[in-house]
Chains A and B, each alone.
Chain A
Amino acid sequence: MTKLNEWVFGLSVFFGIYMALVTKRIKHEIIDDNMFFIQILPLILVVLLGIYAVTTVLYRTLTFNECKDAAMELQKEILEARKDLASKGMKFT
């Protein structure tokens, strides 16, 4: 099953149940009492997902490790490498 199929399957199940509830094919006191909430549920989920995505991406961007030490170590090693290779007969142009 491709990832697209998985998504289509999951969303179909969700909207199948959702439509059954909002078109009142399934009747229950609790459903009637919370009808407004059920109606706007997809919107709430989309908004929550959006907030989750934006905060996660921003948090990870701001906490992205800055490898300054690695860069400095590399710069030192580059000089070391050039010196050593030159002593072994390598010509740098």
Chain B
Amino acid sequence: MGSEKYSILLPTYNERENLPIIVWLIVKYLEESKINFEIIIIDDGSPDNTQEVAKELIKIYGEDKILLRPRAAKLGLGTAYIHGLSHATGDFIIIMDADLSHHPKFIPQFIELQKKHNYDIVSGTRYKGDGGVYGWDFKRKLISRGANFLSQFLLRPKASDLTGSFRLYKKEVLSQLIKACESKGYVFQMEMIVRARAMNFTIGEVPISFVDRLYGQSKMGATEIIQFAKNLLYFFATI
């Protein structure tokens, strides 16, 4: 592929099991497609020694490929991206979860689609084409589809997956969006894409398969649903 460089931001917290695997997969699929990239690990002082694992990975893959840029404490996703962005040397930024729910095999598809249409953002989507999920029961699927329907109906965001966090951004676009966004946690992803529409950025979509955490527990309880509804209404009234 071309001379563009891609910076992959991996915010981690207690991911010592998953980190080596995700890094291995990224290297495998991106080198196969001859993509110039760097991985920036932003660890928020994980007590499980995720950073030790990161240092071993640096020894294997080199410090030009893997960058460890830790922070002292758990400070939230939004600021993790700002922190990562300030260390990124790529023209494009890829954001993904380190828990293996996002497979790096989709990254070359993101890049190809971005190049074809010069999109500002390419977002992975679980809700279109061959996209889908693994490991969700009926209730979880129903909540997800219901929340998605409601947000499409109210916000008409021109993107089918609002809460997903597997995306590629032009560096400048991401930095503008982060500055405009106020929320925390997974709602942050939703605010980014809704604001992107309001700021007239172009958005492309790639269907992805989302494999819910093979290890550990994923969160989706009453608190998350209430937080989602509150923010949905807030964005509805303000963006």
Q: A residues touching B (Cβ–Cβ < 8 Å)?
A: 2-4, 53, 56-58, 60-61, 64-68, 70-71, 74-75, 77-78, 81-82, 84-85, 88-92
Contacts and interface: CB of A to CB of B under 8 A. Distances in A.
Given A3-B236, A57-B142, A68-B134, A89 B60 contact: yes
A81 B104 CA distance: 13
B199 to A, nearest CB: 14
A85 B28 CA distance: 12
B2 interface: no
A43 B144 CA distance: 28
Contact of B132 (A57, A67, A88): A67
B149 A90 contact: no
- Majority secondary structure, A binding face: helix
Nearest to B132: A65
B236 A2 contact: yes
Interface in B124-183: 127, 130-136, 138, 141-142, 144-146, 148-149, 153-156
Interface residues of B, number: 39
A64 B133 CA distance: 7
Contacts of A92: 20
Contacts of B237: 2-4
Interface in B181-239: 209-211, 214, 235-239
Nearest to A49: B153
Nearest to B130: A65
Given A57-B149, A85-B60, A89-B59, A70 B209 contact: yes
Contacts of A77: 21, 25
Nearest to B239: A2
Interface in B1-30: 20-21, 24-25
Nearest to A64: B141
Given A2-B237, A67-B210, A70-B209, A61 B60 contact: no
Contacts of B148: 60
B111 interface: no
Contacts of B40: none
Contact of B145 (A64, A75, A85, A90): A64
Contacts of A60: 127, 145, 148-149
Contacts of B156: 3
Contacts of A66: 132-134
B100 interface: yes
Nearest to A86: B20
Greatest chain B CB density within 10 A among A81, A84, A91 is at A81
Contacts of B20: 81-82, 85, 90, 92
Contacts of B141: 61, 64
Contact of B21 (A64, A70, A78): A78
Interface in B71-112: 100, 103
Given A65-B131, A71-B211, A89-B59, 6 more contacts: A2-B239, A3-B239, A53-B149, A56-B149, A64-B145, A78-B21
